[in-house]
Amino acid sequence: MRLQTSAGLLPLISLTTALTETPFLGFPSPWISPDPSDAEWQAAYEKAAAFVSQLTLTEKVNLTTGTGWEGDRCIGKTGSVPRLGFEGFCLMDGPLGVRYVDKASAFPAGMNAAATFSKRLIRARGEAMGEEFRGKGVDVQLGPVAGALGRTPQGGRNWEGFSPDPYLTGVAIAETIRGIQSRGVIACAKHYILNEQEHFRGSVDVRIGDKTMHELYLWPFADAVRAGVGSVMCSYNRVNGTYACENEWVQNYLLKSELGFRGFVMSDWGAQHSTLGSALSGLDMAMPGDMMGPPSASSPPYGSHWGGALTQAVLKGEVPQWRLDDMVTRIMTSFFRVHVGSYTSRPEPNFSAWTRNTTGPQYKYSNRPWTTVNSHVDVQANHSALIRELAAKSTVILKNTGILPLSKSSLTSLAVIGNDAHDNPNGPNSCPERACINGTVAMGYGSGTTDFPYLISPATALLGLSQEHNITFFNTTSNWDLTTAQSTASNASVAIVFATATSGENFVSIDGNAGDRNNLTLWDNGDALIRAVAAVNPNTIVVLHTSGPVVIDHADKHPNISAILWAGFPGQESGNGLADVLFGDVHPQGRSPFTWGKDLESYGVELLTVAPDPRSPRQEFPEGVFIDYRWFLSEGKGERGRVTYGFGHGLGYTEFEYGDLVVERVGGRGGYEVNKGKTIPAPVMGEVVDIGDVEGWTEPDGFEGWRIPRYVYPWVNATVYNSENGTARSPGIGDFPPEARDGGVQEELPAGGKEGGNEGLYEVLFEVKVDVKNAGTREGVEVVQLVSCLVCFFCCDPVRLMMNSTSHPTTLSPPLSSSAALTTSSSPPTPPKPSPSPSPVVTLASGTPKPRTGRFSPSISRPSLSGRARWI
């Protein structure tokens, strides 16, 4: 869009311009338009345009606004178009399965999927989740997650996403999106953007510059857009002074213009704060539609920032009709884009998120009408096999002195110790939102969870295996009775001790941990339990179910601790997947998706837990792009040697040899072509609304008796319309420049042009090949580690590496060999700004490229690389 300034800009614009060092105007909100070069997109767009052209003003508003919290059977539900027989959209959490339903699977967390470093498994997980959401009649899955990215290791919702490495997260989110949407369900990439902690998440003002935004936090969302994601959820926090859901730099400029996002932006639940600010700054769908509570004196006149308020804003000319039309066209294009092939039909919701009973109220809040709300449809299919495979192949062996794999024939006795190994005596779903540590932990807590259809605990799986192979089995559940733990451990030839540290969302607190973890120690006396068991058994194995890294250096150095495994949050097949790895039935391939520092302070970042004014907390990111391994490896930070286990670390059961490394330049000689395109004028769909004419847009006569309490309707109230403060607008229309409502031809950004940004930014530049040979005595899966640097005068900067078309790790039997290939590529845009950078590890599976990220050197040859390299 236009890069210009205006005297009438909000204070945010000058603030953001200063912080980003980029003069910009994020208005008007970009609109989508036909694209004959993309047949799949064009077909969806044409269907959407034809549909939207039939809609009245209030029908359009209905599809943009949720009906209210507990206003229907789904977590989020938009209004419908009864005249055309189109039911409103059903939106449901979450990133690892369908929340608040029965007979659905509990998949491993996103961080576990990332730990496999397998595109095949990540895609398969997305496909399976998509099948289950579709089977329940859900239109939009509220996932996957790229925010929180993982700036701080104790971030409450890091486990919902994939990794603090933006490239690994980018690959994982893209594959997950492709999997979900291939099954006729719209994926929602969230939480956009900088929602990096739970403390103060609804009010914190994150001040960030253009470089850090582009090179770290925006990166995986660029991959999501390039994968064709249908929706993006804006987050609770402020960015450079303005809430994310009404931030024109974040939504209009970066997402819709620079990255070319062609789907719709929805608000997180309650993250919308105004009518005009959100509409003009790029929001397309308001969730849940109301204020998430009973009306109060501070509530907007319509009980919603949109609904009737949006209709009124259009009738008053404050929101141009083309902006509303674009909202609905984006929504419907995303719908038609996934409803293709075998998935053109649209199952209706067959559940209620608010009750497990077969009958109940259609509209929970109003408690009426009473009807069948749950059909108890079983959507699990055979997904348990995939879940078990993911649980096993995401398990990371951090330490192994040779005790693993355990032998079923020679192992005589086994002790399983710790609360985290055992079943919750009250059932796996007895703690609401999984907010407890009573029994084994297989997912975090909060809205990113789902109900377990069942949960195989490690103790259950290991007991069954012990009985099958005549292994004497001992166990104890208490983490605090160390005397019993030691007695149990001393009786066994091998002792496996379990410990956990969980995290989640801030509306739930466990032992003073309000979403974010207070520290990086193990919970429930876990560290003391490990020390006590190791003191009496020289063959101690430690298993960790944690939401991220913990301080475990004491176990790494303990001579009696022979192995340490990180199992993360493995989902319903937790125990079976772990047993498969412990006894060698599955070849270990898990690699740590984050760094294990020796202490919390070594990470160089701080969680904001105290603010001078808790109502307006402000957060800086002084570390810039240097988080996780970048911080530990960066020059001049004094952090070298303060790592217990590095990013990408993980052991296997065999050895591999490498040879014949070949680096070949395959592209990058043609130069970078900036985008010089222009938009068409903003399309207006259907009948043009007469500004100022309220007739026909008020509640139909006789409807009052049918009105559902607190349900959000699209009609205008004539009394409210004629009052001075009729539209809930903060800021008012005078606070926006004329460009905010300009639907004329616009110049596109030079870095834009396609979904994900300019095509030239993704050009493959180099191909690297290496032969990998299994030189051991067992089958195994290798994840190749590669550091690739371009020479500069002051630093060694890592090159971004991309996976080629192969999509899953290859198992090699000795002495077989395989050729692993990877390609270096350019990346989404950001202005060059030289600075020292670490050399990241590049991971790829034997025979299958598994990439890591990097950047091109800011050397004197930089002009020849201009526009094709992303700086990280």
Residue 651 has φ and ψ, to the nearest 5°, of -100, 160
CB burial of residue 544 (10 Å; 0-12, 13-18, 19+): buried
Sign of the four-CA dihedral 134, 136, 141, 144: negative
Catalytic residue among 72, 210, 268, 420, which? 268
Strand partners, 510: 513
β 796-798/789-791 pair status: antiparallel
Strand pairing class (789-791; 359-363): unpaired
**Distance (Å, whole) CA 236 – CA 240:** 13
Give phi and psi for 47, each to the nearest 5. -65, -40
Check residue 24 and report its DSSP letter: -
Which residues in 540-617 belong to E strands, given as ranges? 540-546, 561-566, 596-597
The 3-state DSSP class for residue 693 equals coil
Q: Which residues of 514-524 are buried (b: 16+ CB within 10 A; e: fewer)?
A: bbbbeebebbb
What CA–CA distance (Å, rounded) separates 70 from 76?
8
Contact (Cβ atoms closer than 8 angstroms) between residue 545 and residue 442: yes
| Residue 468: other Cβ atoms inside 10 A | 9
Rounded-to-integer distance, Cα 193 and Cα 146, Å: 9
Q: Which residues contact 757 (CB under 8 A, 6 or more apart)?
A: 222, 225, 226, 258, 259, 260, 751, 828, 829
- 268 noted as active-site residue: yes
How many other C-beta atoms are found inside a 10 Å radius of the C-beta of residue 704? Answer: 8
CA distance 457 to 463: 10
Q: Which residues are within 8 A (CB) of 257 and not within 5 positions of it... i.e. 6 or more apart? A: 1, 26, 30, 748, 749, 752
**Measured in whole angstroms, how far is the alpha carbon of residue 300 from the centre of its chain?**
31
Q: Are 571 and 106 a contacting pair, CB within 8 Å?
A: yes
Q: What distances in angstroms separate CA 861 from CA 163, 394, 789, 865, one per listed residue?
A: 32, 41, 14, 7
Relative to beta strand 494-501, strand 140-142 is unpaired
Residues classed as catalytic:
268
